[in-house]
Structure formats: structure tokens, C-alpha cells
């Protein structure tokens, strides 16, 4: 940065007479004159016009997204069966029929639910349907269609790491708060309390906190790309690692919740372990990648298809529990490589109950194919 400085300097002239002083000449002694101040005038370095234009454009983009989407975001207040578990959260308007999308864990065990809109109108809501395995829920309010502002749904299959991510919600009860960041990772797989997992979770560094749950995660166009669901933090606040259910899963689950109050998740009925180098070395496996089938549920569809689970337990150093070996090894599902159990979970998230999938397996060192008709997960 360059700074232009104007300095005003007063020159002082000193008269020197050899062997005498001004006093000796009969002249009055000079008075002490304070030095004149140095005046510095700093001129800010001008920014290139393009930098300012770009900054203004980004500000305007975010302002526009907030103005367009905030009327679609709601504040949800839940009075739980246990009053100590009452909570504040977020949601968004899904359609003009009064359906609002939020998280399952927001409405779980709710006794009463209140929805507050951007215009400060508060209405009581009823649960239409809720799904623990996807952590999605739909509640409904009675409000005229012309006063409802549904969101635009994006496509989570097209999301790229590094693109802008915008969250609008009610962190700590601070209503209609916008935070921004980027999509910091894709394809996360997280287990739920039910023991099943959600795949293709979106990770973002946009600040999300308690109260953001159920609110929308948006792209630069203001389209919903995910439903904010939880944070991964050692303290009760954001450290830049937040997660959202992908909008494409919302598109699968929500219409069924509205229609029937229930979503049927497909199920293979197996417990598998991702094969890594430690397993390869310890068990002398014939492959370096795949899924070792440890258990096949006797009530599940895979047992009917003839898939085999492990037959003996082996203690392996650094493993918290014995590994059941001797079962089939799955290497692909419908021709898609299954390098890990997460790959199988992710693939199944795009299937439906009743669909037949082809498993490529290794049994006794030989490649085989097993066809499984997917059943619905138990306990639903």
C-alpha cells in the first residue's frame, strides 16, 4: 500500500559569531520556540473498480437470497412430553397446502408444536409423518395458500465441494439468522439411533447451531440443497462442522410422509464389515476391498436369497470385538463396486422396497451372483 505524505518543515537559520553570543552583542536572549508539528496527510489507496464491483455483487446476491427465502423459513417451538425436553428449531414451507419440513428429532415426543412465520403469525401444527432413519418430518398448519411461500428445491446430486452454502434458521432462538460458508465435504454416512444410517450427508462450514435443526441449507440461487440436521462439536456450539440431509433424500421421503405418514426404507438384512488391509492380512482374504458379511438376519431377504454370514469368530489385534469370518464377501451391487459398507448403504438409499438387486460375491474364492428382493426395514 502506498501513502502520500505532505510534510511541512520550517527551516531555522542559526547565526554563529566566533568568540561571542547574541547576549554579548546587547541583543535579547532568544525565546524557546516549540517545534512546529509535522502534519501527515494519508490518502487511502484506491481499490480497483473490479474488486469493489465483485464485492458488491456478492453482497447483493446474499441480500437477495435472504429476502426471497426468509419468508419460507419458520421458527418451530416444541413443547415435549417431558417439559425439560422442550426445544426451539427451524423448518421451511414445502407447499401451499401448509406442509412444513423439519427434522424427526425436532418433533419427536412432541406434545404441542407451534410454528411462527416471517410475518410473526403463530399457528399450531400437527405432525403428518416422521421418519427416524432419515431424520425428516412433516408438520402441517392451517393457513391460506396465498400466505404460504414454498421453497425451491435444488438437486443435491450436482453439488460440488467448495460451492457456496447458505443457512437460514433460528440458532439459539435468534430468529431468521443467515450464515454463509461452503460445502466442505460430500457423501458422509452417519448412523441413527435406530442403528440404520443416512448416506450422502452434506458437510458445511456455514455456522449452524442448536436451533438451526430442520432449517434449509441453500445454494447461491436460494434453492434448498439440504436440511440442516446436526453439528459435530466437542462444545455446545458451532466449530465449523455442520451436516445436512441431502435434498434428494427429502424428495424421496417427504411425499410419502405426506401421503401415508410413513416411509418404507429398503433393507438387505445383513451386517457387514468393510475390508481393510488389517483384515486382509489377519484373515488372508482373497481381495483387498469389499464387504465381509458377518451376519445375515434370519428374518431378512438376504437369507432367502442364500447369502451366507460368518461361521467363526477371530480375535484381531486393535479390533474392539471379534470378527466373524467365513461368510460371503460382497464386491459389487448391481455392478457398482462395493468397496465399503458405506458404498452399499449409499446405493440402497436410491432403491425401493420390492426392487431386486444383484450382489456380486466371493464364496470360497469363487465369484458368484446372488439376487435379493429388498424388503422393508423391520420395526416400522
Distance CA(249)–CA(349), nearest Å, equals 8
Q: What is the CATH number of the domain that holds 179?
A: 2.40.10.10
Q: Is residue 7 part of a domain?
A: no
Instruction: Give me the number of domains the chain comprises.
Output: 2
Is the pLDDT at 272 greater than 80, yes or no? yes
Based on the domain organization, do 212 and 305 belong to the same domain?
no
Is the pLDDT at 47 greater than 80, yes or no? no
What is the pTM assigned to this prediction? 0.84
Percentage of the residues of the chain whose pLDDT score is greater than 90 = 80
Cell 427429502 appears where?
250
Strand partners, 185: 203
Based on the domain organization, do 182 and 234 belong to the same domain?
yes
pLDDT of residue 105: 96
Confidence of residue 7 (pLDDT cuts 50, 70, 90): very low
Give ∠ CA 169-235-83 in degrees, rounded to 5.
Answer: 65
| Nearest residue to 202 (alpha-carbon basis) of 220, 176, 184, 222 | 184
What Cα–Cα distance (Å) separates residue 150 from each residue in 224, 229, 324? 11, 20, 50
Q: Is residue 297 part of a domain?
A: yes
pLDDT of residue 32: 60
* Half-sphere exposure in the Cβ direction for 100 (13 Å, CA): 34
Work out the average pLDDT over 175-187.
Answer: 97
pLDDT of residue 31: 56
- Which cell goes with 192? 441413527
Q: What is the CATH number of the domain that holds 278?
A: 2.30.42.10
Is the pLDDT at 255 greater than 80, yes or no? yes
Q: Is residue 124 part of a domain?
A: no
Work out the average pLDDT over 209-223.
Answer: 97
Q: Is residue 44 part of a domain?
A: no
Confidence of residue 185 (pLDDT cuts 50, 70, 90): very high
Based on the domain organization, do 199 and 283 belong to the same domain?
no
Based on the domain organization, do 370 and 283 belong to the same domain?
yes
Distance CA(38)–CA(274), nearest Å, equals 74
Q: Is residue 138 part of a domain?
A: no
Distance CA(227)–CA(54), nearest Å, equals 29
Based on the domain organization, do 361 and 313 belong to the same domain?
yes
Is the pLDDT at 5 greater than 60, yes or no? no
Catalytic annotation, residues: 105, 135, 213
Based on the domain organization, do 365 and 280 belong to the same domain?
yes
Is the pLDDT at 42 greater than 80, yes or no? no
Based on the domain organization, do 290 and 365 belong to the same domain?
yes
For residues 50 and 168, the model is more confident at 168
Based on the domain organization, do 299 and 213 belong to the same domain?
no
Based on the domain organization, do 275 and 240 belong to the same domain?
no
- 73-80 vs 122-131, strand pairing mode: unpaired
Based on the domain organization, do 311 and 347 belong to the same domain?
yes
Q: Is residue 228 part of a domain?
A: yes
When the pLDDT of each residue in the chain is averaged and rounded to a whole number, the result is: 90
Is the pLDDT at 295 greater than 60, yes or no? yes
Based on the domain organization, do 278 and 369 belong to the same domain?
yes
Residues 312-369: pLDDT tens digits? Answer: 999 999 899 999 999 999 999 999 999 999 999 999 999 999 999 999 999 999 999 9
The answer to whether 103 and 127 have CB atoms below 8 angstroms apart is no
Domain that includes residue 241, residue range: 157-247
Is the pLDDT at 143 greater than 90, yes or no? yes
Pick the last residue of a domain from 247, 279, 294.
Answer: 247
Q: Is residue 36 part of a domain?
A: no
pLDDT of residue 374: 98
pLDDT of residue 190: 94
Based on the domain organization, do 233 and 202 belong to the same domain?
yes
pLDDT of residue 33: 64
Q: Specify the DSSP element, H or E, that contains 363.
A: strand 356-363
Q: Is residue 259 part of a domain?
A: no
What Cα–Cα distance (Å) separates residue 273 from each residue in 187, 280, 323? 18, 12, 9
pLDDT of residue 55: 76
Amino acid at each position: 500500500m502506498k501513502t502520500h505524505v505532505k510534510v511541512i518543515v520550517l527551516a531555522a537559520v542559526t547565526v554563529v559569531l566566533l568568540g561571542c553570543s547574541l547576549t554579548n552583542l546587547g541583543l535579547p536572549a532568544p525565546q524557546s520556540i516549540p517545534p512546529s508539528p509535522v502534519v501527515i496527510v494519508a490518502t487511502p489507496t484506491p481499490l480497483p473498480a473490479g474488486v469493489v464491483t465483485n464485492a458488491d455483487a456478492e453482497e447483493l446476491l446474499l441480500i437477495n437470497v435472504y429476502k426471497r427465502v426468509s419468508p419460507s423459513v419458520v421458527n418451530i417451538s416444541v413443547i415435549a412430553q417431558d417439559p425439560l425436553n422442550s426445544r426451539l428449531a427451524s423448518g421451511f414451507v414445502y407447499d401451499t397446502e401448509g406442509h412444513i419440513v423439519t427434522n424427526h428429532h425436532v418433533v419427536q415426543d412432541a406434545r404441542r408444536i407451534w410454528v411462527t412465520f416471517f410475518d410473526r403469525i403463530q399457528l399450531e401444527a400437527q405432525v403428518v409423518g416422521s421418519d427416524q432413519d432419515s431424520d425428516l418430518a412433516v408438520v402441517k398448519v392451517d393457513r391460506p395458500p396465498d400466505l404460504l411461500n414454498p421453497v425451491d428445491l435444488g438437486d443435491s446430486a450436482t453439488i460440488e465441494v467448495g460451492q457456496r452454502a447458505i443457512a437460514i434458521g433460528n440458532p439459539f432462538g435468534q430468529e431468521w439468522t443467515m450464515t454463509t460458508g461452503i460445502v466442505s465435504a460430500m457423501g458422509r454416512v452417519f448412523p441413527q439411533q435406530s442403528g440404520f444410517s443416512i448416506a450422502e450427508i452434506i458437510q458445511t462450514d456455514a455456522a449452524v447451531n442448536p436451533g438451526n435443526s430442520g432449517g434449509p441449507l441453500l445454494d447461491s440461487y436460494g434453492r434448498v440443497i439440504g436440511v440442516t440436521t446436526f453439528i459435530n462439536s466437542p462444545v455446545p456450539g458451532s466449530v465449523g462442522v455442520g451436516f445436512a440431509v441431502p435434498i434428494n433424500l427429502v424428495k424421496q421421503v417427504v411425499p410419502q410422509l405426506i401421503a401415508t405418514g410413513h416411509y418404507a426404507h429398503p433393507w438387505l438384512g445383513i451386517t457387514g464389515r468393510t475390508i481393510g488391509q488389517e483384515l486382509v492380512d489377519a484373515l488372508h482374504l482373497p481381495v483387498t476391498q469389499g464387504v465381509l458379511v458377518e451376519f445375515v438376519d434370519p428374518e431378512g431377504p438376504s437369507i432367502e436369497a442364500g447369502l451366507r454370514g460368518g461361521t467363526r469368530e477371530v480375535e484381531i489385534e486393535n479390533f474392539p470385538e471379534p470378527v466373524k469370518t467365513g461368510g460371503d464377501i460382497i464386491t459389487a451391487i448391481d455392478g457398482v463396486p462395493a468397496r465399503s459398507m458405506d458404498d452399499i448403504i449409499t446405493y440402497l438409499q436410491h432403491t425401493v422396497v420390492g426392487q431386486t438387486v444383484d450382489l456380486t460375491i466371493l464364496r470360497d474364492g469363487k465369484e458368484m451372483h446372488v439376487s435379493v428382493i429388498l424388503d422393508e426395514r423391520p420395526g416400522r
